[in-house]
Amino acid sequence: MPYKILSLVVILCAFTASAQAGNGNNEESLTKVKTTKAIRTPQAPVLDGVLETEVWQTVAPATNFVRYDPLNGKPSSQKTEVYMLYDNDAVYIGAQLYDTAPDSILTQLGERDSGENNSDLFGVYLDTYNDKQNAFAFLVSAAGVQTDIKISQGSEDRNWDAVWASSVKRHDKGWTVEMRIPYGAIRFPKAEVQTWGVNYMRIIRRTREKSYWNHVDNSVSGFVNQEGRAIGIESIESPVRLQFTPYVSGYVNHFPSNVEGKSNYSHSINGGMDVKYGINDAFTLDVTLIPDFGQTQSDNQVLNLSPFEVKFAENRQFFTEGTELFNKAGLFYSRRIGGTPLLYSSARTYINEGETLEENPNLSSLINAAKVSGRTRKGLGIGIFNAVTRNMFAKAKNEEGETREILTDPATNYNVFVLDQTLRNNSYITFTNTNVTRSQGFYDANVSSIKARFADRSNTYAVSAGSNVSQLFGYKGEDLTLGHQYNISLAKISGNFLYSLNHNVESDKYNINDLGYLQSNNEVSTSAQVNYNFYQPIWKFLSWSNRLSINHSMLYAPREFANWSFGGGHNIKFRSFTSAYFNWSVRPTDAYDYFEARMFPQVQVFIRPAAFDANIGISTDYRRRLAVDASLGHWESHDRNQSDWWGSFSPRFRVNDKLLLVNGNNYSTNHHSIGFISNISDKELNKKYIVFADREIKTLTTTLTGAYIFNERTGLTLNMRHYWSRAENNSFYDLQKDGSILPRTASHDSDKARFKDINLNYFNIDLVYSWRFAPGSELRVVWKNAIQERNNTVSPLYFENLSRTIQAPQNNNFSVKLLYFIDYIAIKNVLSA
């Protein structure tokens, strides 16, 4: 049945493709490329928000902006003029943003890199290599808040930080922007005459209008490939890009361990440095020496009852900034570096009789990390990443007070190497290698990948393919464990009607988890999807997208059926700028789950009954002082009386242009959720049992985030989260070899005593004051509060549970960190003055 449906989808896609061959609209939009000319200025502009006539009007402005959203393709409602100048040190952008209602310009303050707040916005996108795939973006709001973004082949790196200057000023004709972007902040080819790709963007927030100087057609795949050109830039050179950011930090920590002879307080003072060096005009070396990540935002911990590892977000700046090249193949999960030691969970098995485990660090210690990245004039991107962690030890103590060390993680070297060649028509081919080399006789890991994408000249159709090979050396006693993965995708990527066909294969020994993240391997999956999108207003909608999809999966070894499903979705933006969505899916037959039993590499199936689910959501207009995001979903099986409900309600209140509060509430209930709980052995019968439980699981997550921004350089932010999850066991089953479950013969009371209920709470507060007192320099003061409370008595009442959580032992951490940016060129200019 699934294959017949897939065949029907393929025939439908082929018919539609032939009917729409030679998509003239795409071809036309790609050929309309505007050109602006930059002029060398003998006098650098003074950044005060005033466009001096004698400086800026020596060059013709870029004008006639075109709307992107709403009413894509229509002229902008307001006049905009943008000027580009340059000298030996920097490129300068001046923008006159006329407004017929200057008193209505919105100016909400936000953190740096917060992007589109409730404020008017202006931005410039510089594709300095003119390759139509990569760009540097510099944006500034009408409140003066800066945002910078590095764009690489469709992905945005908002963690990329450059040092540049800007100034804004409101007046009776609208507002103006001045920018100074030093050459040290960007990269460009070594050439006498430069031709850069460029686009300018303007957002008029009160009407939700976004427009670009060079038209960006929202029915065409890609953004940078729809840019204009900047000519006239000549005789410029990349400066010596040598920058230092030393830091000093101090921490005071309190946790009521109440151990005799050990203080509840601890403190530390740290120092280190980040170094950035431009090897040449294209390549940059970034090094972090003795890094300090103590002020990183707290993880959103959860109760994990699944057979898969929880993937946490990366919040450490060195691993989030400028890493888009290393992440392209999907093989680099940077939380592996400095993560949980290999033998952390099994450290207790290494203690002797009469010993206790005194210490067991849960994070490895990073010594240093470095990365080199860049792109040649011919479009070859090269990236090298390397990091080293030290030996980690647990500490055991015997009855005489003697201690000894237990190695839980050896000194390890992590390496990523990437070659990425951009091709015409928004295409590319990429090679990636990741390697983990451990000392002390532990196993090593290596993964190699090739990935390619080819699009046609009109940017209407694309084919993508990739293949990975994983190697483990000395893993579980084997000299070599070899695995592989490959995938292919055929898609129509532009126009109202879109489709894609996808096929992915992962062998049973494919393993990238030493430096990557993969929930499960041993899978063969095939999927197809069709979309029809309305990009222009229709009826009461500003835009409307629709999706239908079908999915089929099976094991790689042995080739056993797993499941198949089909579903759809609809996303709507109303003319009131309220957005809504509706998604649904159906699994019409039983699914065969080969992972829930936790028996890998043995194949043990668990049969899940046929099911369906649906969810809806709404997001109101954020321009309003009070806006709301809300959703509701339901899942139900065709057997066993299993059902899930989940919902969210998140009001956001903008008190004024400085203070914003957002409250998030997410609740889910899983009724008769059946899943793995334990493996047990009966020694008398010489038999092993895989025990499953029928549970009632209820989870409530409440968050409060707030920001009080004093000005464009200083702000106070709050992140508070309470996570409460309860798992109550109703009944117990033994999993049978055929995948069915039967009630256990053991008494219910004895199983209830053995398999405990779970009542788990995580409570975190992150309060951060930041002051960017100089370009690239910052003072951060952070208070972090963390509580983890877990017991086996399920509490039915929220406030009773919250009270018990607040009374649990709390970890309080207070820290101050000072970073100071030092630029070699600035020092040289001062000394030579």
Q: Taking residues 639-654, what's their average pLDDT?
A: 93
CB–CB of 464/438 below 8 Å?
Answer: no
Q: What is the pLDDT of residue 826?
A: 84
User: CA quadruple 590, 594, 598, 599: dihedral positive or negative?
Assistant: positive
Q: How high is the mean pLDDT of the chain?
A: 92
Place of tokens 């004093």: 710
Comparing 164-178, 353-367, 614-628, 713-727, the range with the smallest average pLDDT is: 353-367
Q: pLDDT tens, 166-176?
A: 999 999 999 99
Better-scored residue on pLDDT, 309 or 601: 309
The pLDDT of residue 753: 87
Burial group, residue 776, by CB count within 10 angstroms (0-12, 13-18, 19+): middle
Give the model's pLDDT for residue 116: 76
Paired strand residues for 437: 413
pLDDT at 645: 97
Q: What is the pLDDT of residues 480-526, one digit of tens each?
A: 999 999 999 999 999 999 999 999 999 999 999 999 999 999 999 99
What pLDDT sits at residue 683?
73
| pLDDT on residue 14 | 39
Beta strands (DSSP E) in 424-508 are 427-438, 444-455, 461-475, 478-492, 497-506
pLDDT at 833: 67
Distance (Å, whole) CA 104 – CA 168: 16
Summarised one tens digit per residue, pLDDT across range 79-104 is 999 999 999 999 999 999 999 999 99
Q: Return the sign of the alpha-carbon dihedral for residues 796, 798, 800, 801.
A: positive
Mean pLDDT on 760-776: 96
Max mean pLDDT among 114-123, 319-328, 558-567 falls in 558-567
Stretch 423-428: mean pLDDT, rounded?
Answer: 93
Which H or E element spans position 829? Answer: helix 824-832
Average pLDDT over residues 432-457: 97
Contact 67, 536 (CB under 8 A): no
Quick one: pLDDT band at residue 9, thresholds 50, 70, 90?
very low
Give the C-alpha separation, 600 to 595, whole Å.
7
Q: Is pLDDT of 163 > 80?
A: yes
The residue whose two tokens read 């190497």 is 417
**Confidence label for 324 from pLDDT (cuts 50, 70 and 90):** confident
Q: pLDDT value at position 8?
A: 37
φ, ψ of residue 454 in degrees (nearest 5): -130, 125
- What pTM did the predictor assign? 0.91
| Residue from 824, 775, 776, 820 nearest 240 by CA | 824
**Has residue 435 got a pLDDT over 70?**
yes
Residues 778-808 have pLDDT tens digits of 999 999 999 999 999 998 899 999 999 999 9
pLDDT reported for residue 778: 96
> 324 phi and psi, to 5 degrees?
-60, -35
pLDDT of residue 587: 97
- pLDDT tens digits along 187-209: 999 899 999 999 999 999 999 99
Number of neighbours of residue 565 by Cβ within 10 angstroms = 21
pLDDT at 832 over 90: no
What is the distance of C-alpha 101 from the center of its chain?
Answer: 38
Mean pLDDT of 701-716: 96
- N- to C-terminal Cα distance for the chain? 79
Q: What is the DSSP letter of 808?
A: S
Asked if residue 714 has pLDDT above 50, the reply is: yes
Strands 403-409 and 366-375: unpaired
Of the candidates 113, 255, 320, 311, the one whose C-alpha atom is nearest the C-alpha of residue 784 is 255
- Name the band, by pLDDT with cuts 50, 70 and 90, for residue 395: very high
Position 410 pLDDT exceeds 60: yes
Beta-carbon contacts of 444 under 8 Å, excluding residues fewer than 6 positions away, are 435, 436, 437, 438, 472, 473, 474
